[in-house]
Every structure is written in C-alpha cells, then in structure tokens.
C-alpha cells in the first residue's frame, strides 16, 4: 500500500503541467502580496501620505491606544479647540474645518480614532459633520453610546429581515462585555482577510494535479489492464484516493501557510486584539 501511494505521489509531482501550474499559482500569489504592499499607505509624523515598505514600517511601529473615556474626550476636545482657534481652523468641510497643516498633523495621524469616535456617537447616520458630532457628544459615556448605536443598528437589521430578534439579543449580550477596546494597526489581519479570495485559486490547482490520476489512465486505455490486476479494484483505488487527499492537503496548507507567513514577516502579528473603526 505504501509503495502504491509513493508511486502515485511521484506520478503527480512528475507531471510537467502540474509543476508549471503550482509555480504559476505561487508566482501569482506573490504578485498579490507585492500589490498589497505597494498600495499600503499611512501617514508619517508630518501627516504626509507614504506608500509601500515605508508605510508598512510606520504601521508596524504604530502604538496601541486604549479606547477609554479619558482618551476619547481628550481627542475630541483637542479637535474642538483647534476649530475654535483662528490660526488653526478653516471653513472647509473637506478638511473637517481645520487648516491644511493641522488637518495633516492632527486628523490624518489619528484618522482611525476619529472615525471610531464619529461612528460610535453617530452610527451609520451622516446627518451631522464631525464637528457637530463632537460638540453634541462631549461628556457622553463612550461605551454606553456604543451600545445604544449598536441597538439601533440591530433594530434596523431585524426590520429588514437580515437577522432574527433572538439574534439581536445574542449580540447585545455579547456587546455588554466589550469595555476595553484597543486601537492600533491590524494591517496583517486586514490584508489576510481581504485577500483570502485569491486562495480560491488553489482549488483548480488541486484539480489539475489529481485529475490525471484517474482520467489519464482511462484516456490511455491502461485502466482496463489495471482493473484486472490483483489489487486493481482494492489497494490501487484506495492508494489513489489517499494520495489525492494527501496532495490536496499538502498543497492547500503549504500555500496558505507560506502566503500567511510572508504577510506575517512583512507586517507583523500586532493588532489581533484591536478594534475596527466601526461599531
């Protein structure tokens, strides 16, 4: 049995078509990683946009900020003070009523925190601008506002039939335990989730590898001879199935772990316990 599995294994990897397919898939996934890195952007100390590995370095060094009531009110108050200072404010809504310099150094450097605060106090509504939201929300408890906005969102999901009323209660109970959010870079986890669809390319790759194990012998006419052999309908069939499972498992996890490992080495694992900029 072991020799049959070994023979089928060598036959799979000895196929030039299979070798080229595996190489092509790996090269394409590496290109996907390169594309993600090239498009990665961040704001430097001066608020200017940087891309590529320079942006990756900034994201890796980004400190973790605990989302507390004190930190939330401090940032909102700093923003409101800037909007009241003639040397720092402007009448442009596109720069959130800040002049260009302050917009870069204050807003762009803390964009994720600002987005989290805006979503927390206003939800999915866009009736108020960020300045009006902060003026209205100063002094309100961050986590109570978060729970209230979540309940509103869930009510909308129930009305549209997206979830059941019992499911709404489940998520509200889960939310009651959320009291120590952290905000920071989670680029590795985000990119892995966003690019997970590319891993679907492994499925046709596996099909290309194992299809000749069965179809090839029928195509060449060797099947009729193999089926008449002593183990043609027993051990040989089991060996082919076992080899196909081993090949699929090896290729799938080999590519997935390599793909994730490259991301992990470049972006780092930090951010797995951070909050996203939304409810």
Q: What is the pLDDT of residues 84-93, one digit of tens each?
A: 999 999 988 8
Number of CB atoms found within 10 A of residue 83's CB: 17
Nearest CA to 197 among 152, 256, 145, 157?
Answer: 256
β-pairing, 41-43 with 49-51? antiparallel
Range from 33-37, 128-132, 152-156, 200-204 carrying the lowest mean pLDDT? 200-204
Angle between helices 235-267 and 53-60 (to 10 degrees): 80
Specify whether the CB–CB gap between 150 and 172 falls below 8 A. yes
pLDDT reported for residue 215: 55
Give the long-range contacts of residues 257-265, CB within 8 A, separation 24 or more.
258/26, 259/29, 259/33, 259/199, 260/192, 262/30, 262/33, 263/33, 263/188, 263/191, 263/192, 264/188
Range from 24-33, 73-82, 214-223, 260-269 carrying the lowest mean pLDDT? 214-223
Name the strand (E) or helix (H) holding 234: none
Question: Which residues share a beta bridge with 41?
Answer: 51
Nearest CA to 210 among 12, 3, 5, 1?
Answer: 12
pLDDT reported for residue 194: 75
Range 162-185 average pLDDT = 85
Range 211-235 average pLDDT = 55
Alpha carbon distances (Å) from 159 to 154, 201, 278: 9, 38, 21
Q: Is 90 exceeded by the pLDDT of residue 239?
A: no
pLDDT reported for residue 243: 82
pLDDT reported for residue 72: 92
Q: Is 50 exceeded by the pLDDT of residue 111?
A: yes
Percentage of the chain surpassing pLDDT 70?
A: 85
Alpha helices in 97-181 (DSSP H): 100-102, 111-122, 130-137, 142-159, 165-175
Specify whether the CB–CB gap between 129 and 95 falls below 8 A. no
Alpha carbon distances (Å) from 67 to 75, 114, 141: 11, 11, 12
Average pLDDT over the chain reads 81
Range from 40-44, 174-178, 220-224, 234-238 carrying the lowest mean pLDDT? 220-224
pLDDT confidence tier of residue 128, bands split at 50, 70 and 90 = confident
pLDDT confidence tier of residue 37, bands split at 50, 70 and 90 = confident
β-pairing, 65-66 with 49-51? unpaired
Nearest CA to 62 among 274, 265, 278, 277?
Answer: 274
Range from 5-9, 18-22, 38-42 carrying the lowest mean pLDDT? 5-9
Range 148-165 average pLDDT = 89
């Amino acid at each position: 049995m072991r020799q049959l599995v070994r023979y089928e294994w060598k036959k799979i990897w000895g196929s030039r078509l299979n070798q080229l397919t595996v190489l092509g898939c790996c090269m394409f996934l590496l290109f996907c990683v390169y594309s993600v890195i090239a498009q990665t952007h961040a704001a430097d100390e001066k608020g200017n946009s940087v891309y590529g590995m320079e942006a990756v370095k900034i994201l890796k060094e980004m400190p973790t900020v605990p989302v507390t009531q004190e930190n939330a009110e401090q940032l909102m108050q700093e923003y409101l003070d800037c909007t009241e200072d003639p040397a720092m404010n402007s009448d442009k809504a596109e720069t959130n009523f800040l002049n260009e310099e302050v917009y870069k150094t204050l807003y762009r450097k803390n964009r994720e925190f600002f987005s989290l605060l805006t979503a927390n106090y206003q939800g999915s509504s866009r009736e108020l601008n960020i300045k009006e939201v902060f003026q209205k929300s100063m002094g309100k408890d961050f986590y109570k506002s978060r729970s209230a906005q979540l309940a509103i969102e869930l009510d909308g999901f129930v009305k549209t039939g997206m979830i059941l009323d019992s499911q709404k209660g489940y998520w509200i109970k889960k939310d009651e335990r959320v009291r120590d959010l952290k905000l920071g870079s989670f680029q590795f986890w985000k990119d892995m989730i966003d690019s997970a669809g590319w891993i679907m390319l492994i499925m046709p790759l596996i099909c290309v590898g194992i299809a000749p194990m069965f179809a090839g012998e029928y195509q060449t006419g060797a099947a009729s001879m193999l089926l008449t052999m002593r183990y043609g309908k027993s051990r040989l069939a089991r060996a082919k199935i076992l080899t196909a499972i081993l090949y699929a498992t090896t290729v799938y996890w080999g590519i997935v772990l390599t793909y994730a490992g490259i991301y992990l080495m470049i972006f780092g694992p930090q951010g797995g316990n951070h909050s996203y900029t939304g409810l």
